Amino acid sequence: MSDTTHISIRPVTPSDEVTLEDIRRAAFAPVFASFRALLGDEIYELAQAKEDAGQADMLRGLIAPGSGWDVFVAEVDANVIGFVAVKVDAETCIGEIGLNAVHPAHAGQGTGTALYEFALAHMKRAGARVATVGTGGDASHAAARRAYEKVGFNAAIPSVWLCRLL
């Protein structure tokens, strides 16, 4: 357990890539397992597995120069323990929290809240008037939903993705 009262948040650097991938993999493993359990093996392999596997490429794309995303990392004692991707559309004044994760060893200790509050302040400074974030409605995303609600995300459009074999 770490003391998250000493969290610092800074922009991502190229040297963070491997650590961010480790965090992403660890944080999303239970989510992908949940998706498999919800869909069953056959539908999961046909409809979801490729997208889940592509998340590593998505992360690399987010931290690439010129991606249009600002990515920030949370550190405790100089160790990166989480990250958040943020984008602001200057034309629409809409900010978005994209891919984000906290290493499971540090979950539930305020790191996500600190990252989201930082992201919201960053959006506001960049001229955003509305902040958005998307997340799953399944049990594996319950902690994420609570964290988003904790920082004030309270207007939602529920959605359901349905699948069936043909």
Q: Is the pLDDT of residue 112 over 80?
A: yes
Q: Are 133 and 96 in contact (CB under 8 A)?
A: yes
**Tens-place pLDDT, residues 23-49:** 999 999 999 999 999 999 999 999 999
Q: Which pLDDT score is estimated for 2?
A: 43
Q: pTM of this prediction?
A: 0.92
Buried/exposed code over 92-128 (b: 16+ C-beta within 10 A; e: otherwise): eeebbbbbbbbbeebbebbbbbbbbebbbebbeeeeb
Q: Which pLDDT score is estimated for 152?
A: 96
Q: Are 145 and 135 in contact (CB under 8 A)?
A: yes
Q: Which pLDDT score is estimated for 1?
A: 41
**Tens-place pLDDT, residues 133-164:** 999 998 999 999 999 999 999 999 988 999 99
Confirm or reject CATH 3.40.630.30 for domain 7-150, answering yes or no.
yes
Q: Which pLDDT score is estimated for 5?
A: 64
Q: Please give the Cα distance from 72 to 6 (Å, whole number).
A: 16
**Tens-place pLDDT, residues 1-30:** 444 468 999 999 999 999 999 999 999 999
